[in-house]
Amino acid sequence: MSQPGPDAPSQPLRITVLTDGDTRPPGLERIEAEADVVLAHDEASLRKALPGSQVLLVTDFRTAALEAAWDAADSLAWIHAASAGVDQLMFDALVESDIPVTNAQGIFDRNIAEYVLGMILAFAKDTKQNVRYQQDRRWVHRDTETIEHKQALVVGAGSIGRRIGTLCRAVGMDVVGVARREKPGDETFSAIHAQSDLDTLLPAADYVIIAAPLTDDTQGLFDAGRFKAMSPHARLINIGRGPIVVTDDLVAALDAGEIAGAALDVFETEPLPADHALWGYDNVLISAHMAGDFVGWRDALIEQFAANLARWQRGETLFNPVSKRFGYAPSSQ
């Protein structure tokens, strides 16, 4: 199972691509020129595809199929996740194996940061209410908030969190970071605090931005206690993973006015069910797990995989290795 491709040049390279089944990832042609490419989209098709595959490309970040079909992986030497989050791949058998995992670090950073800034400005300028007044053809003047010197608390200081921090600082906000461990402040964050200090940091934040990976440490991190610690004028923005937030506690906090609003791109259940309470809040902005998905992102993901594949074929160190201990690719900074 750990036999690397470069040691077996006579064996044709076989790559399994695990997709969501709805779409064939565009740009696969360039991979097909290099290898036999087999598509799979669920446990059954994956069981057929895996035997003999040295490389697995996972484009469906929600998949549970790999864990279910794991025993069929007889030749895997490298797994690349074409996503920032790798939480679905961090099951025991893979974590304990010596198969390296890489991810799509960097690809989504800029667009996610723009999305977050857009949501901050939508709250400050009351954009959603403007849309509603426009629908009613009503001219209603209000005073709006500025974001200058407002504090953005970015939970997660990886490459996405850093990019968010950089953009928020560029527009004059105060930016504080939260990471697994405390680190010295730098050009992006005035300070980076340990996640264990979160409760002492929350009261001062105007915008609390979740940019953390989903791990044992972050699952359910934002629960009732955390919302009570937040300022009643603060907004929560989640572009990380849905299960970092206890959704029922968020709904209760909104009902109680413990926070002023939320912009949510990720949810515990995706798609968010049509009958879910969150759709109905005036002070909640919902998008369909698309914050990172700029026009051309699928091509960019394949291009990134192809570059790493070339390195793998030459026996070179892979880009964006995921720490299987921590469940994410450490930021280069």
Residues lying near its own copies in the complex (CB under 8 A): 110-111, 114-115, 117-118, 121-122, 124-125, 127-128, 130-134, 137-148, 167, 170-171, 270-272, 274-276, 279, 284-290, 293-297
Closer residue to its own copies (CB): 145 or 186: 145
Closer residue to its own copies (CB): 127 or 231: 127
Smallest distance, its own copies to C-beta of residue 41, A: 17
Closer residue to its own copies (CB): 219 or 269: 269
Q: Which of 228, 230, 159, 154 lies closest to 192, judged by CA?
A: 154
Beta bridge partners of 79: 56, 101
Task: Find the catalytic residue in 80, 235, 241, 258.
Answer: 241
Task: Find the catalytic residue in 268, 270, 311, 325.
Answer: 270
Q: Catalytic: 270?
A: yes
Closer residue to its own copies (CB): 68 or 286: 286
Smallest distance, its own copies to C-beta of residue 321, A: 27
**SS (HEC) of 48-87:** HHCCCCCEEEECCCCCCHHHHCHHHCCCCCEEEECCCCCH
- Grouping H, G, I as helix, E, B as strand and the rest as coil, residue 30 is helix
Question: CA distances (Å), 208 to each of 39, 42, 153, 174, 232, in order?
Answer: 39, 36, 5, 12, 12
Smallest distance, its own copies to C-beta of residue 276, A: 8
- Cβ distance 155 to 212 under 8 Å? yes
Smallest distance, its own copies to C-beta of residue 278, A: 9
Residue listed under structure tokens 């960019």: 300
Q: Which of 234, 214, 237, 252 lies closest to 287, judged by CA?
A: 237
22's CB contacts (< 8 A; 6+ apart) are none
Closer residue to its own copies (CB): 135 or 317: 135
Smallest distance, its own copies to C-beta of residue 207, A: 14
Task: In whole angstroms, give the CA distance from residue 28 to residue 22.
Answer: 15
Task: Find the catalytic residue in 14, 163, 226, 289.
Answer: 289
Q: Catalytic: 241?
A: yes
**Catalytic positions:** 241, 270, 289
